[in-house]
Amino acid sequence: MTDIRIRDIAPRLAGQAHPIGTDDKVRLIDAMTDAGVPAIEVSSFVRPDLIPGLADAAEVFRRIKRKPHVSFECCVGNERGLQRAIDAGADAAWFLLSADEGFAEQNIGRSTDESLLELERMQKVASSAAITLGTYIIFAWGGPTSLPRRASDLEHLFRRLREIGIREWILADSCGYAAPTDARELATFAINELGGPETITVQIHDGRGMGLANVAELVGLGITRIDTALAGSGGHPAMRGTPGAGVCTEDVVQLLHLEGYTTGIDLPQLIRAANWFSDTLDIPSKGFVRYAGPVPVDSATSRSAEFEWRTA
C-alpha cells in the first residue's frame, strides 16, 4: 500500500512547552532520524522573548546529524525568521497562519489578513532561496477563541494562499476539535482546492482522544503526509492548561503498519526513543504502544502471559 510520510513535530512542540536543554534536543532528533523518521520539525525561528524554549534553534540545526532523505524543518513567523531558517540550512519553513482571528490578534499581534500580506512578502524571498516555504493553518478545525469550524469557513484563506502561490499547506487541528467526519470534510475540501492531496499535510492533535481515528480516516482519503509527536508530547505556552499535545507517533506508526501501510520507521527503535524522551527528561506524555508493547508479528516478538485462577 501507499507509503505514509510521518513528520514528527515533538522537538518544536515539546520544546516550546517544557524546559529541554540543547544537548537533549540534539539527542532526541538524532534518535528519531536513526529510527527512520523521514521529516522532523526541529524548532521555530521566532522571537525568543515570546518562546524562550526555542531560542537555541540555530544551534540545534548546527549540531544535529544530517542524513540523506531526511527533511529538517522549522516554523517561522516573519521574513526575519525565514532568513534565519535559510541561514541555518532548514529544508522547509512553515509560516504560522492562524485561522482563529482572536488568537491571531492576541498572540501573534496581527490580523490574519496582515499575516497573509507578510506571507506574500516572504514568498518572494523564498522563491530565490534553497528552501521550501509552506504555511500552517493553525486551528483549522476551530478554537481556541472560536467554535468548531466548517470547511466553508476557510474558503477565503485557501483562495488567498493560492493567489500568493503557496501550495504546501499544513492543516492543524490545534485544539483537537475534529471528529473523523470533520477531518474528512475539511481535508476533502482542501484536496479539491489544490487539485490533489500531494502537498497537504494534516497535523493531528489528540487533546480530546480522537487522533488515531482521524489518522485512519485521512489516510483512507489518500492523505499521505501526517504530523505526529513522539510520546504524544507538546503544548503551547500561550494556552497553558489547554490540551495541545500531538497524536502519539508510536501509536500512529503501529496503526499504519497493521493497516498495511509503510512508513520506513523502525517501531521498536522509535519506542526506545520515546521512552528515553518521556522518562529521562520527565516530559508529560501520552500513548499506548510504548507501555503495552507492539502487537506481536511473529513468535519472536510475542509475550507469553501467565494466568492464575484464584478462588475464594
φ, ψ of residue 120 to 5 degrees: the values are -65, -40
Cβ partners under 8 Å of residue 249, min gap 6: 6, 8, 10, 37, 228, 229, 230, 231, 232, 270, 274
- Positive or negative CA dihedral for 71, 74, 76, 79? negative
Q: Where are the alpha helices (DSSP H) in the chain?
A: 10-15, 22-34, 57-63, 79-88, 101-103, 112-126, 155-164, 180-194, 211-221, 249-258, 267-275, 289-292
Rounded distance, CA 46 to CA 78, Å? 8
pLDDT top residue among 107 and 54: 54
Share of the chain above pLDDT 90, in %: 79
Share of the chain above pLDDT 70, in %: 94
Cell numbers for 13, please give them: 512542540
SS3 state of residue 169: strand
Is residue 1 pLDDT above 60, yes or no?
A: no
Which pLDDT value is given to residue 49? 86
Contact 192, 160 (CB under 8 A): no
Q: What distance lies between CA 71 and its chain's CA centroid?
A: 13
Query: Which of 5-14, 19-28, 48-57, 294-303 bottoms out in mean pLDDT, i.e. has the lowest?
Result: 294-303
φ, ψ of residue 294 to 5 degrees: the values are -65, 155
Which pLDDT value is given to residue 15? 93
**Residue 8 parent element (H or E):** strand 5-8
pLDDT digits (tens, 9 = 90+) for 213-235: 999 999 999 999 999 999 999 88
Q: What average pLDDT does the segment 58-84 reach?
A: 96
Q: Residue 146: pLDDT band by 50, 70, 90 thresholds? A: confident
Placement of cell 529521562 in the chain: 280
Helices 180-194/155-164 angle, 10° precision: 30
Q: What distance lies between CA 145 and its chain's CA centroid?
A: 21
Whole-structure pTM value: 0.94
Is residue 300 pLDDT above 70, yes or no?
A: no
Cell numbers for 102, please give them: 482572536
Residue type, 94: W
Which pLDDT value is given to residue 90? 98
Cell numbers for 309, please give them: 485462577
Q: What distance lies between CA 103 and its chain's CA centroid?
A: 19
